[in-house]
Structure 1
Amino acid sequence: MVTPAPPRWDRKMQQRLARGEEAALGELYDRFASLVHNLAHRVMDDEHAAAQITREVFGYIWENPDAYDPKHGSLRSWIAGLTQRQAVHRLRQAQKTGEGTPEEVEARVREASAAARADYIVTSMPTPLREALDRAYRQRLDYRQTAADLGVTEDEARRRLRLGLQLLSTAMDHPPQLDAGPSQRNRGRLL
Protein backbone atom coordinates (compact mmCIF):
# COMPACT_ATOMS: atom_id res chain seq x y z
CA MET A 1 0.00 0.00 0.00
CA VAL A 2 1.42 3.37 -1.01
CA THR A 3 1.44 5.87 1.82
CA PRO A 4 0.41 9.41 1.00
CA ALA A 5 3.28 11.68 0.06
CA PRO A 6 3.87 14.65 2.30
CA PRO A 7 2.79 17.96 0.74
CA ARG A 8 6.41 19.09 0.53
CA TRP A 9 7.25 16.06 -1.60
CA ASP A 10 4.28 16.88 -3.84
CA ARG A 11 5.47 20.46 -4.38
CA LYS A 12 9.07 19.40 -5.04
CA MET A 13 7.91 16.76 -7.53
CA GLN A 14 5.81 19.33 -9.36
CA GLN A 15 8.76 21.72 -9.51
CA ARG A 16 11.04 18.98 -10.85
CA LEU A 17 8.48 18.06 -13.51
CA ALA A 18 8.08 21.73 -14.46
CA ARG A 19 11.87 21.92 -14.97
CA GLY A 20 11.59 18.94 -17.31
CA GLU A 21 13.47 16.43 -15.15
CA GLU A 22 12.90 13.05 -16.75
CA ALA A 23 14.06 11.34 -13.55
CA ALA A 24 11.14 13.01 -11.74
CA LEU A 25 8.67 11.46 -14.16
CA GLY A 26 10.30 8.07 -13.63
CA GLU A 27 10.09 8.46 -9.87
CA LEU A 28 6.45 9.54 -10.09
CA TYR A 29 5.70 6.63 -12.40
CA ASP A 30 7.37 4.15 -10.04
CA ARG A 31 5.34 5.48 -7.16
CA PHE A 32 1.90 5.79 -8.79
CA ALA A 33 1.77 3.61 -11.92
CA SER A 34 0.14 0.71 -10.12
CA LEU A 35 -2.50 3.04 -8.66
CA VAL A 36 -3.27 4.48 -12.10
CA HIS A 37 -3.29 1.10 -13.85
CA ASN A 38 -5.42 -0.60 -11.19
CA LEU A 39 -7.97 2.21 -11.10
CA ALA A 40 -8.17 2.32 -14.91
CA HIS A 41 -8.53 -1.47 -15.02
CA ARG A 42 -11.26 -1.35 -12.38
CA VAL A 43 -13.25 1.05 -14.55
CA MET A 44 -12.52 -0.44 -17.96
CA ASP A 45 -12.13 -4.12 -17.06
CA ASP A 46 -9.67 -4.32 -19.94
CA GLU A 47 -5.90 -4.71 -19.63
CA HIS A 48 -5.05 -2.97 -22.92
CA ALA A 49 -7.30 0.01 -22.14
CA ALA A 50 -5.82 0.30 -18.63
CA ALA A 51 -2.29 0.33 -20.05
CA GLN A 52 -3.28 2.99 -22.59
CA ILE A 53 -4.92 5.16 -19.92
CA THR A 54 -1.80 4.80 -17.75
CA ARG A 55 0.35 6.11 -20.61
CA GLU A 56 -2.09 8.95 -21.27
CA VAL A 57 -2.24 10.04 -17.63
CA PHE A 58 1.54 10.14 -17.22
CA GLY A 59 1.89 11.84 -20.61
CA TYR A 60 -0.57 14.49 -19.48
CA ILE A 61 1.32 14.99 -16.20
CA TRP A 62 4.60 15.36 -18.10
CA GLU A 63 3.13 17.91 -20.50
CA ASN A 64 1.09 19.80 -17.87
CA PRO A 65 2.91 19.74 -14.51
CA ASP A 66 1.40 23.09 -13.55
CA ALA A 67 -2.13 21.68 -13.83
CA TYR A 68 -1.64 20.22 -10.35
CA ASP A 69 -2.48 22.65 -7.54
CA PRO A 70 -1.26 21.51 -4.09
CA LYS A 71 -3.93 23.71 -2.48
CA HIS A 72 -6.61 21.33 -3.73
CA GLY A 73 -5.16 18.12 -2.32
CA SER A 74 -2.34 15.65 -2.62
CA LEU A 75 -0.59 14.74 -5.84
CA ARG A 76 -1.80 11.17 -5.35
CA SER A 77 -5.46 12.21 -5.22
CA TRP A 78 -5.00 14.51 -8.24
CA ILE A 79 -3.48 11.65 -10.23
CA ALA A 80 -6.28 9.32 -9.13
CA GLY A 81 -8.82 11.93 -10.23
CA LEU A 82 -7.16 12.31 -13.63
CA THR A 83 -7.21 8.56 -14.05
CA GLN A 84 -10.81 8.20 -13.03
CA ARG A 85 -11.98 10.97 -15.35
CA GLN A 86 -10.02 9.57 -18.29
CA ALA A 87 -11.24 6.03 -17.69
CA VAL A 88 -14.85 7.12 -17.29
CA HIS A 89 -14.56 9.21 -20.45
CA ARG A 90 -13.22 6.18 -22.32
CA LEU A 91 -15.93 3.95 -20.88
CA ARG A 92 -18.66 6.34 -21.98
CA GLN A 93 -17.08 6.63 -25.44
CA ALA A 94 -17.10 2.83 -25.69
CA GLN A 95 -20.75 2.79 -24.69
CA LYS A 96 -21.55 5.22 -27.51
CA THR A 97 -20.03 2.77 -29.97
CA GLY A 98 -22.19 -0.06 -28.65
CA GLU A 99 -19.78 -1.72 -26.19
CA GLY A 100 -22.26 -1.85 -23.32
CA THR A 101 -25.67 -0.63 -22.30
CA PRO A 102 -26.00 2.71 -20.57
CA GLU A 103 -27.00 0.89 -17.38
CA GLU A 104 -23.86 -1.30 -17.48
CA VAL A 105 -21.65 1.71 -18.11
CA GLU A 106 -23.18 3.75 -15.29
CA ALA A 107 -22.93 0.78 -12.89
CA ARG A 108 -19.22 0.49 -13.68
CA VAL A 109 -18.82 4.26 -13.26
CA ARG A 110 -20.52 4.13 -9.83
CA GLU A 111 -18.36 1.18 -8.77
CA ALA A 112 -15.17 2.88 -9.89
CA SER A 113 -16.17 6.13 -8.19
CA ALA A 114 -16.81 4.33 -4.90
CA ALA A 115 -13.47 2.54 -5.21
CA ALA A 116 -11.65 5.82 -5.88
CA ARG A 117 -13.37 7.46 -2.90
CA ALA A 118 -12.46 4.47 -0.71
CA ASP A 119 -8.82 4.70 -1.81
CA TYR A 120 -8.76 8.41 -1.07
CA ILE A 121 -10.36 7.90 2.36
CA VAL A 122 -7.90 5.17 3.31
CA THR A 123 -4.85 7.13 2.20
CA SER A 124 -6.13 10.29 3.91
CA MET A 125 -6.99 8.78 7.27
CA PRO A 126 -4.55 9.06 10.16
CA THR A 127 -1.77 6.48 10.17
CA PRO A 128 -2.98 4.64 13.32
CA LEU A 129 -6.38 3.96 11.73
CA ARG A 130 -4.86 2.98 8.38
CA GLU A 131 -2.40 0.61 10.07
CA ALA A 132 -5.17 -1.08 12.06
CA LEU A 133 -7.32 -1.55 8.93
CA ASP A 134 -4.34 -2.81 6.97
CA ARG A 135 -3.60 -5.49 9.55
CA ALA A 136 -7.22 -6.52 9.87
CA TYR A 137 -7.88 -6.62 6.13
CA ARG A 138 -4.65 -7.60 4.41
CA GLN A 139 -3.17 -9.74 7.15
CA ARG A 140 -6.57 -11.08 8.29
CA LEU A 141 -5.87 -10.31 11.95
CA ASP A 142 -8.68 -9.97 14.49
CA TYR A 143 -8.76 -7.03 16.88
CA ARG A 144 -6.76 -8.92 19.54
CA GLN A 145 -4.00 -9.80 17.08
CA THR A 146 -4.10 -6.28 15.66
CA ALA A 147 -3.71 -4.84 19.18
CA ALA A 148 -0.73 -7.08 19.90
CA ASP A 149 0.86 -6.31 16.52
CA LEU A 150 0.44 -2.54 17.00
CA GLY A 151 1.34 -2.57 20.69
CA VAL A 152 -1.94 -1.03 21.83
CA THR A 153 -4.77 -2.19 24.07
CA GLU A 154 -7.56 -4.31 22.66
CA ASP A 155 -10.02 -1.48 23.34
CA GLU A 156 -7.81 0.92 21.35
CA ALA A 157 -7.54 -1.56 18.46
CA ARG A 158 -11.34 -1.98 18.40
CA ARG A 159 -11.78 1.81 18.47
CA ARG A 160 -9.34 2.30 15.58
CA LEU A 161 -10.95 -0.43 13.51
CA ARG A 162 -14.47 0.84 14.18
CA LEU A 163 -13.57 4.44 13.32
CA GLY A 164 -11.63 3.38 10.22
CA LEU A 165 -14.54 1.29 8.98
CA GLN A 166 -16.99 4.11 9.67
CA LEU A 167 -14.86 6.47 7.59
CA LEU A 168 -14.52 3.89 4.83
CA SER A 169 -18.27 3.27 4.75
CA THR A 170 -18.78 6.88 3.67
CA ALA A 171 -17.28 6.00 0.28
CA MET A 172 -20.63 4.48 -0.68
CA ASP A 173 -22.70 7.34 0.78
CA HIS A 174 -21.93 9.99 -1.83
CA PRO A 175 -22.92 10.08 -5.50
CA PRO A 176 -20.10 10.27 -8.04
CA GLN A 177 -18.78 13.76 -8.74
CA LEU A 178 -16.85 13.12 -11.88
CA ASP A 179 -16.79 16.57 -13.40
CA ALA A 180 -17.09 18.89 -10.43
CA GLY A 181 -14.75 21.21 -8.64
CA PRO A 182 -11.43 22.79 -9.46
CA SER A 183 -10.11 19.76 -11.30
CA GLN A 184 -12.53 20.49 -14.15
CA ARG A 185 -10.32 23.43 -15.19
CA ASN A 186 -7.25 21.21 -15.26
CA ARG A 187 -8.52 18.58 -17.66
CA GLY A 188 -6.85 20.16 -20.66
CA ARG A 189 -6.06 17.69 -23.42
CA LEU A 190 -6.51 14.62 -21.25
CA LEU A 191 -10.16 14.25 -22.14
Structure 2
Amino acid sequence: MAQHRTGPAAPSTTRPGSRLGGPAGRERHADRDHDLALAAGFVSGDEASIEDVYRRWSPMVHTIARRTLGDDREAEDVTQQVFLAAWKGRHGYRPGRGGLPGWLVGITRHKIADALSARTRRTELAAVTARQEQEPPVTAGSADEAVNRVLVMQALERLPAAQRRVVGLAFYGDLTQTQIAARTGLPLGTVKSHLRRALHVLRRALEQGGTTEGRAAAPPRVPHGAAHA
Protein backbone atom coordinates (compact mmCIF):
# COMPACT_ATOMS: atom_id res chain seq x y z
CA MET A 1 0.00 0.00 0.00
CA ALA A 2 1.38 3.39 -0.99
CA GLN A 3 2.25 5.70 1.83
CA HIS A 4 1.64 9.44 1.59
CA ARG A 5 4.23 11.71 3.01
CA THR A 6 3.10 14.66 5.04
CA GLY A 7 5.02 17.90 4.89
CA PRO A 8 5.91 20.07 7.86
CA ALA A 9 3.01 21.82 9.52
CA ALA A 10 2.41 25.38 8.31
CA PRO A 11 3.50 28.01 10.83
CA SER A 12 0.69 29.64 12.80
CA THR A 13 -0.24 33.16 11.67
CA THR A 14 -1.90 34.00 14.95
CA ARG A 15 0.07 36.62 16.83
CA PRO A 16 0.70 36.08 20.53
CA GLY A 17 -1.84 37.92 22.63
CA SER A 18 -4.21 38.54 19.71
CA ARG A 19 -6.91 36.27 21.08
CA LEU A 20 -9.14 37.23 23.94
CA GLY A 21 -7.39 34.61 26.05
CA GLY A 22 -3.96 36.10 25.33
CA PRO A 23 -2.27 38.60 27.66
CA ALA A 24 -3.28 41.68 25.63
CA GLY A 25 -6.86 40.48 25.26
CA ARG A 26 -7.18 39.71 28.94
CA GLU A 27 -5.78 43.14 29.81
CA ARG A 28 -8.27 44.90 27.55
CA HIS A 29 -11.10 42.85 28.99
CA ALA A 30 -10.01 43.68 32.54
CA ASP A 31 -9.79 47.42 31.73
CA ARG A 32 -13.28 47.35 30.26
CA ASP A 33 -14.68 45.56 33.29
CA HIS A 34 -12.95 48.05 35.58
CA ASP A 35 -14.41 51.03 33.69
CA LEU A 36 -17.88 49.51 33.81
CA ALA A 37 -17.55 48.96 37.55
CA LEU A 38 -16.43 52.57 38.03
CA ALA A 39 -19.40 53.84 36.03
CA ALA A 40 -21.83 51.67 37.95
CA GLY A 41 -20.51 52.85 41.31
CA PHE A 42 -20.54 56.48 40.19
CA VAL A 43 -24.12 56.36 38.94
CA SER A 44 -25.34 54.51 42.04
CA GLY A 45 -24.08 57.38 44.23
CA ASP A 46 -21.02 55.72 45.75
CA GLU A 47 -19.12 58.77 47.00
CA ALA A 48 -15.80 56.91 46.99
CA SER A 49 -16.18 56.21 43.27
CA ILE A 50 -16.08 59.89 42.33
CA GLU A 51 -12.41 60.01 43.31
CA ASP A 52 -11.67 56.96 41.17
CA VAL A 53 -13.64 58.36 38.24
CA TYR A 54 -11.86 61.70 38.60
CA ARG A 55 -8.42 60.06 38.63
CA ARG A 56 -9.36 57.89 35.66
CA TRP A 57 -10.77 60.53 33.31
CA SER A 58 -9.82 64.00 34.55
CA PRO A 59 -6.64 64.02 32.38
CA MET A 60 -8.84 63.45 29.32
CA VAL A 61 -11.24 66.24 30.28
CA HIS A 62 -8.41 68.65 31.11
CA THR A 63 -6.68 67.96 27.80
CA ILE A 64 -9.82 68.71 25.78
CA ALA A 65 -10.45 71.92 27.73
CA ARG A 66 -6.82 73.03 27.48
CA ARG A 67 -6.71 72.53 23.72
CA THR A 68 -9.84 74.61 23.20
CA LEU A 69 -9.36 77.34 25.79
CA GLY A 70 -5.58 77.64 25.61
CA ASP A 71 -5.40 78.44 29.31
CA ASP A 72 -4.43 76.05 32.10
CA ARG A 73 -6.37 77.84 34.83
CA GLU A 74 -9.57 77.94 32.80
CA ALA A 75 -9.04 74.30 31.84
CA GLU A 76 -8.71 73.35 35.50
CA ASP A 77 -11.91 75.25 36.34
CA VAL A 78 -13.76 73.51 33.51
CA THR A 79 -12.49 70.12 34.68
CA GLN A 80 -13.82 70.73 38.18
CA GLN A 81 -17.16 71.93 36.80
CA VAL A 82 -17.48 68.88 34.53
CA PHE A 83 -17.14 66.37 37.34
CA LEU A 84 -19.35 68.38 39.67
CA ALA A 85 -22.04 68.54 36.99
CA ALA A 86 -21.61 64.83 36.25
CA TRP A 87 -22.02 63.93 39.91
CA LYS A 88 -25.12 66.09 40.30
CA GLY A 89 -26.64 64.76 37.09
CA ARG A 90 -25.48 61.16 37.40
CA HIS A 91 -29.05 59.82 37.44
CA GLY A 92 -29.45 61.10 33.89
CA TYR A 93 -26.55 58.99 32.63
CA ARG A 94 -27.49 56.32 30.12
CA PRO A 95 -24.79 53.88 29.01
CA GLY A 96 -24.17 54.36 25.32
CA ARG A 97 -21.56 53.67 22.74
CA GLY A 98 -19.03 55.92 24.42
CA GLY A 99 -19.85 54.84 27.95
CA LEU A 100 -19.09 57.13 30.88
CA PRO A 101 -16.08 58.77 29.17
CA GLY A 102 -18.23 59.69 26.17
CA TRP A 103 -20.81 61.21 28.50
CA LEU A 104 -18.10 63.22 30.26
CA VAL A 105 -16.85 64.51 26.90
CA GLY A 106 -20.35 65.80 26.13
CA ILE A 107 -20.48 67.66 29.44
CA THR A 108 -17.00 69.01 28.79
CA ARG A 109 -18.09 70.55 25.50
CA HIS A 110 -20.98 72.34 27.18
CA LYS A 111 -18.76 73.68 29.96
CA ILE A 112 -16.18 74.86 27.42
CA ALA A 113 -18.92 76.77 25.58
CA ASP A 114 -19.94 78.37 28.88
CA ALA A 115 -16.32 79.33 29.59
CA LEU A 116 -15.95 80.90 26.15
CA SER A 117 -19.17 82.87 26.62
CA ALA A 118 -18.00 84.10 30.03
CA ARG A 119 -14.65 85.10 28.53
CA THR A 120 -16.43 87.10 25.83
CA ARG A 121 -18.56 88.90 28.40
CA ARG A 122 -15.50 89.78 30.48
CA THR A 123 -13.69 91.06 27.40
CA GLU A 124 -16.66 93.17 26.35
CA LEU A 125 -17.08 94.68 29.80
CA ALA A 126 -13.35 95.37 30.11
CA ALA A 127 -13.33 97.04 26.69
CA VAL A 128 -16.25 99.29 27.66
CA THR A 129 -14.57 100.25 30.92
CA ALA A 130 -11.24 100.94 29.18
CA ARG A 131 -12.88 103.17 26.57
CA GLN A 132 -14.68 105.12 29.26
CA GLU A 133 -11.42 105.72 31.12
CA GLN A 134 -9.30 106.63 28.08
CA GLU A 135 -11.61 108.51 25.75
CA PRO A 136 -12.24 112.26 26.10
CA PRO A 137 -15.70 113.55 27.04
CA VAL A 138 -18.25 112.21 24.62
CA THR A 139 -21.59 113.39 23.36
CA ALA A 140 -24.80 112.53 25.17
CA GLY A 141 -25.69 109.95 22.50
CA SER A 142 -22.38 108.12 22.85
CA ALA A 143 -22.58 108.23 26.63
CA ASP A 144 -26.05 106.73 26.50
CA GLU A 145 -24.81 103.90 24.33
CA ALA A 146 -21.91 103.14 26.68
CA VAL A 147 -24.18 103.20 29.75
CA ASN A 148 -26.69 100.92 28.04
CA ARG A 149 -23.92 98.50 27.14
CA VAL A 150 -22.75 98.31 30.74
CA LEU A 151 -26.32 97.82 31.93
CA VAL A 152 -26.76 94.95 29.48
CA MET A 153 -23.53 93.29 30.61
CA GLN A 154 -24.54 93.57 34.26
CA ALA A 155 -27.99 92.16 33.50
CA LEU A 156 -26.40 89.25 31.62
CA GLU A 157 -24.34 88.36 34.68
CA ARG A 158 -27.54 88.08 36.73
CA LEU A 159 -29.35 85.78 34.30
CA PRO A 160 -29.71 82.07 35.11
CA ALA A 161 -26.94 80.01 33.52
CA ALA A 162 -29.24 78.39 30.95
CA GLN A 163 -30.66 81.71 29.75
CA ARG A 164 -27.23 83.35 29.76
CA ARG A 165 -25.84 80.57 27.58
CA VAL A 166 -28.68 80.81 25.05
CA VAL A 167 -28.30 84.60 24.83
CA GLY A 168 -24.53 84.24 24.43
CA LEU A 169 -24.90 81.79 21.56
CA ALA A 170 -27.48 84.06 19.91
CA PHE A 171 -25.67 87.38 20.34
CA TYR A 172 -22.01 86.38 20.25
CA GLY A 173 -22.25 83.13 18.28
CA ASP A 174 -24.84 84.55 15.86
CA LEU A 175 -26.68 81.22 15.89
CA THR A 176 -30.32 80.69 15.00
CA GLN A 177 -32.70 79.22 17.54
CA THR A 178 -32.60 75.88 15.72
CA GLN A 179 -28.79 75.89 15.77
CA ILE A 180 -28.79 76.76 19.48
CA ALA A 181 -31.13 73.85 20.18
CA ALA A 182 -28.82 71.50 18.26
CA ARG A 183 -25.71 72.86 20.03
CA THR A 184 -27.14 72.66 23.55
CA GLY A 185 -29.44 69.66 23.21
CA LEU A 186 -32.35 71.73 24.53
CA PRO A 187 -35.81 71.51 22.94
CA LEU A 188 -36.47 74.31 20.47
CA GLY A 189 -39.40 75.56 22.57
CA THR A 190 -37.13 75.83 25.62
CA VAL A 191 -34.56 77.81 23.62
CA LYS A 192 -37.26 80.25 22.47
CA SER A 193 -38.56 80.60 26.03
CA HIS A 194 -35.06 81.22 27.47
CA LEU A 195 -34.31 83.84 24.82
CA ARG A 196 -37.67 85.60 25.27
CA ARG A 197 -37.31 85.76 29.06
CA ALA A 198 -33.71 86.90 28.87
CA LEU A 199 -34.55 89.72 26.45
CA HIS A 200 -37.37 90.81 28.73
CA VAL A 201 -34.91 91.04 31.63
CA LEU A 202 -32.43 93.01 29.52
CA ARG A 203 -35.10 95.46 28.34
CA ARG A 204 -36.27 95.96 31.89
CA ALA A 205 -32.70 96.64 33.05
CA LEU A 206 -32.32 99.30 30.39
CA GLU A 207 -35.68 100.88 31.21
CA GLN A 208 -34.83 101.03 34.91
CA GLY A 209 -31.32 102.30 34.25
CA GLY A 210 -32.46 104.94 31.79
CA THR A 211 -29.94 107.18 30.02
CA THR A 212 -27.85 110.16 30.97
CA GLU A 213 -30.59 112.55 29.88
CA GLY A 214 -33.53 110.57 31.23
CA ARG A 215 -34.76 109.36 27.83
CA ALA A 216 -36.17 105.86 27.51
CA ALA A 217 -33.36 103.44 26.74
CA ALA A 218 -33.56 101.55 23.47
CA PRO A 219 -34.22 97.82 23.94
CA PRO A 220 -31.38 95.44 23.01
CA ARG A 221 -31.34 94.43 19.37
CA VAL A 222 -32.07 90.76 18.71
CA PRO A 223 -29.50 89.19 16.37
CA HIS A 224 -30.96 88.51 12.94
CA GLY A 225 -30.35 84.75 13.18
CA ALA A 226 -31.80 84.39 16.67
CA ALA A 227 -35.10 85.93 15.64
CA HIS A 228 -35.85 82.97 13.41
CA ALA A 229 -35.97 79.25 14.05
Report TM bin, short chain: 0.3 to 0.5
Which structure is higher in RCO with an 8 Å CA cutoff and minimum separation 6?
1
> Bigger radius of gyration, 1 or 2?
2
Name the TM-score, length of structure 2 as normaliser: 0.39
